[in-house]
Amino acid sequence: MAEMTDRADSLLEKHFIEKITAIKEKRVGIEIELPIVRLSKEPMDMKFALTLMEYMWRHGFVPIDRTIDGYCYKAENEYGDVFSFDTTWNMIEFSMKEEMSIVKTASRFYDYLATVQKFSQSEGYIVCGRGIHPYAEYIDIRPLNTESLNAKSEFLRRFTSNNDAGDVFFAIPSAIQTHISCHASDFFDVFNLLRKLTFVDACLFANSLPPAEGLIKKYPVLAKASSSTICFRDEIYRLSEAPNTKADGRDFHSFEDLKAYLRDLSIFIVTDSEKGFRPINPEPFGQYFHDETHPEGDIACFRPLEHISPSRYGTLEVRCTCTQPLSEIFYPMAFYTGIVEMREEAASLLRDFFQEEGIALPPMELRRRVTCGEPIAEEKTLQEFLKRLVSCAYEGLLKRGFAEEQLMRGLYEKDIFHPPAQRELALVRAGLPMQEIIRKLSEW
């Protein structure tokens, strides 16, 4: 086994471990995916998408990537912020350059958002803060025509039970990914803490109710999802059968632990001289790279896809957060930034909560119960715990001294914590039309 893992270990050292140990500053980055909704309930007009990209060129973004058929889908500006269409033409993404202060990130983002929203609304569209595309039944679910997305689409058709329904898993969910940079000496404390907090993410930020019946009729696989969930994105990951998404309850204490974990994850998209990339039957990383004929370049599409994952940028990536209402977009980033600053205090609060409530469930099961409305503790006790944890994060932001606490003041000032999906559900039950809900989620 040692011989089998030698080459895999050296690649993991180069592409993951060395990136982590090279980090010297505590920076935070964010990727924000946002559905674009055509208010007429029709598929996206490609002319609109391409004109929006040209509009962003005139506002400082320079093209950096194109589809196979020559359409620009990604552009970058002088700050290193990237505007792109993500997975399909129905979703945009802002990948914001890591900063010491997330106030700077938020300021630039809302400037960009105002630009996009102004143009979109003039054309009968609106950018919406929701974790599932609200008009998913009307959109064209085909992925962008890029080498990597074509390979992933082919993988779902050939190597899962989803066949032609696979593309729906790319097309309808949207997320916020927070990237935390921390010193190597703190990496595992932070990693283990964040893994245990995924149920808290659901309590505070779940924002993806199941799609309309029209979409489920088109793609019956979606009917296998829990009808009671307030985080349909979690169900999408489960139903997609995508590798590297399943979480476990282990703690990590060393880079050897981390390498052992990464070796067991799957390679399922590899390089191809003709198509750029191609799918293969999933094979464990350690086993795949034992074969010397497999080039190092095949690591290009390898990544952990768990809710909390180490990235190839050396960051810890929080992947479990649904896209939030536009006025609350930075709540999650601010929350996690503050928690990392106060990690010892946060870990103590979490430990006390688990002990007092007798909770010994793995993180994924705990999160599932929260998202499906199954109690994990008396509601009053849970709310008190959430209040203490949010206050802890707020104190962490104060400690950092960048005035970042303003970005989660609305969350901090709450007395009762209900995630956006629960608030949306109340509006639905009150009879508010979906288009009015969309407009509410698009305000800031």
* Domain parsing of the chain, residue ranges: 2-441
CA dihedral 7, 8, 10, 13 (to 10 degrees): 180
φ and ψ of 342, to 5 deg: -115, 40
Angle between helices 187-196 and 343-357 (to 10 degrees): 40
pTM of the model as a whole: 0.96
C-alpha distance across the termini of the chain, in Å: 55
Q: Does residue 316 sit in helix, strand or coil? A: strand
pLDDT of residue 247: 82
Cα–Cα nearest to 199, from 389, 428, 393: 389
For the chain, residues with pLDDT lower than 50 are: 1-3
Burial of 19: CB neighbours in 10 Å, binned 0-12, 13-18, 19+: middle
Q: 2-441 has which fold?
A: Creatine Kinase; Chain A, domain 2 (3.30.590)
Those residues whose C-beta lies under 8 Å from the C-beta of residue 413, and which sit 6 or more positions away, are none
CA atoms within 13 A of residue 326's CA, in its CB half-sphere: 22
CA distance 125 to 139: 13
Q: Does residue 306 sit in helix, strand or coil? A: coil
